[in-house]
Amino acid sequence: MTIEEKVSRTIAELGVTDPQAVEALFAEVRAAMESERQVLVSRGAASSTEREKAAKVLRDRWLARKNGLLAHIDEKWLKPASKELKPLVGRKFNELRQTSALLEIEALIRAIPVRAKVSASDAGSMDVSIAATGQALSTPTGTESVDGDLTLPGYRQRLGSIHPITRVQREIEDIFLGLGYSIETGPEVETAYYNFDALNIPATHPARDDMDSLYVDAETVLRTHTSPVQIRALRKHGAPLFILAPGKAYRRDNPDATHSPMFHQVEGLAVDTDITFADLKGTLDFFCRKFFGEKVRTSFHPSYFPFTEPSGEVSISCFVCDGAGSDALGRSCRTCKASGWIEVMGCGMIHPEVLVHGGVDPERYSGWAFGLGIDRFAMVKYDIHDIQLFFQSDMRFLEQF
């Protein structure tokens, strides 16, 4: 059975039922990935243009968002995995995604040599490895001679890099995938029911005013948060459920250094029997230390959200000044504004009404949720003080990442 056939089936359909078989399955995938990369590197390319084209083909085969092999693994292996195997599958998938950084276009271009001639036998070996998916590299045979001084620098098309928002989102996803969570998405044009009513936000709440939200019509709105995904996922999968819901959200905000009418959120949801606030604190403390550094401390403060009760705000000790509020010379820390703490997200135990709207019995199940702004996390991590920089496509800014 080919790799393509295996990633198109679930783990259960492949007969994988124990941890050893899971590890063997992922080891096979890693071996196939490295084999195809090595074939491409050893073959080389006849020109920089051919090299970029070959790199893009291999990258898209494995890492394309919709049809890449890793996307199929996420959809077919991780999401439907059993409760017992999901933590291991998530951890192995996270390791595979880290290894797949070698298949990014820039990494491949650095590894693939440009040669004056590429033999027909080398071309055939590469065709065999890629043709399995119907994406054979269309490259010349390399029989023509190369004129000019090959030691001169060539003309190379400028390549992009991963946007800082995407980079931060993937880092957050990797942490929770390693904990056994799965990724869920939902529509950005949402009904008022899913966006407000199902989340216990009453008709009198200020957030429902058209001065705060962007309405398509009286019953349709551009979602103001990714929380509607939680309701849709509960209705789709039921409980127990552990998901992460990243995506765009929209609010009627005037653009300035800290606000944008379109921004990025990620929300987490955990629903099971005997879930407590202690589980919430432990998970978010672990997440903050993995994302910002092991020295970071967390602090929880009471707050209010209609969809959680009790609710809280999470702050982290400043990772720049180590919570001191100033540097060794006594200068105020700009990142935490000399407070020593940075507020990063809201959280709380899911309100029973929200569980009812999700089709879950609140007498049997409990859960917690959190929500954070990906843009704000990127601003804090990279010391960026204007959110508008993320949306201006200024290469002088983006080339730093």
pLDDT, tens digit, for every residue of 349-395?
999 999 999 999 999 999 999 999 999 999 988 888 899 999 998 88
Distance, in Å, from the CA atom of 57 to the CA atom of 109, rounded to the nearest integer, reads 12
Does the pLDDT of residue 102 top 60, yes or no? yes
List the Cα angle 177/85/37 in 5-degree steps: 60
Q: CB–CB of 234/198 below 8 Å?
A: no
Average pLDDT over residues 331-360: 90
What are the helix and strand counts (H, E) for the chain?
A: 14, 10
Q: What is the pLDDT of residue 147?
A: 56
- pLDDT classification of 319: cutoffs 50, 70, 90: confident
Rounded Cα gap, residues 204 and 212, in angstroms = 13
* Confidence at 11, pLDDT banded by 50, 70, 90: confident
Whether the predicted pLDDT of 268 surpasses 70: yes
- CA 141 centroid distance within chain: 39
When pLDDT is cut at 50, 70 and 90, the band that residue 141 belongs to is very low
If you search the block for the tokens 């898209």, which residue do you land on?
60
For the CA atoms of 11, 17, 20, 21, the dihedral, rounded to the nearest 10 degrees, stands at -40
pLDDT band at 131 (very low <50, low <70, confident <90, very high): very low
CA distance 301 to 315: 8
pLDDT single digits (tens) 183-198: 999 999 999 999 999 9
pLDDT at 3: 87
For residue 79 the two structure tokens come to: 């999401």
Mean pLDDT of 321-349: 85
Q: Does domain 164-398 have CATH number 3.30.930.10?
A: yes
